[in-house]
Amino acid sequence: MEHLLSYLVPIFTSLIYLSLGIFINSENARYLLAGYNAMSDVERSKFDIDSYLYFFKRFFKGLAVSLLLIWILLDIFVGLGAGIVVWILVQIPAYSYFVFRSVRF
């Protein structure tokens, strides 16, 4: 039972990321996306929200799946102690990539 509980955080995290990738769209982005929600109407009209959302949705769907898969592989091959640290550290380059690529929008 204790071993199954160790999957709660990765599953919950993946579900949050998957929800971001599925439910954010051009209609609700005005309220939910940081930065975009602070833009004036003129700035928003100049921003290519469709291209950004294509990138945003693909990133978070991929992150959801890959983080859960990485957790399962770490549990099998490394164990939970070191696996937790590696799982957390794997997210740093992913978010760095996201920020780096988001700047072009």
Per-domain residue ranges for the chain?
Answer: 2-102
Q: What's the pLDDT band for 80 if we cut at 50, 70, 90?
A: confident
- At 82, is the secondary structure helix, strand, or coil? helix
Q: What percent of the chain has pLDDT over 70?
A: 97
For residue 98, the Cα-to-chain-centroid distance in whole angstroms is 9
* Predicted local confidence at residue 2, as pLDDT: 61
Reduced to 3 states, what is the DSSP secondary structure of residue 77? Answer: helix
Please tell me the distance from the alpha carbon of residue 83 to that of residue 85, in angstroms, as a whole number.
5
Residue 54 has pLDDT above 60, yes or no: yes
105 vs 61, more confident: 61
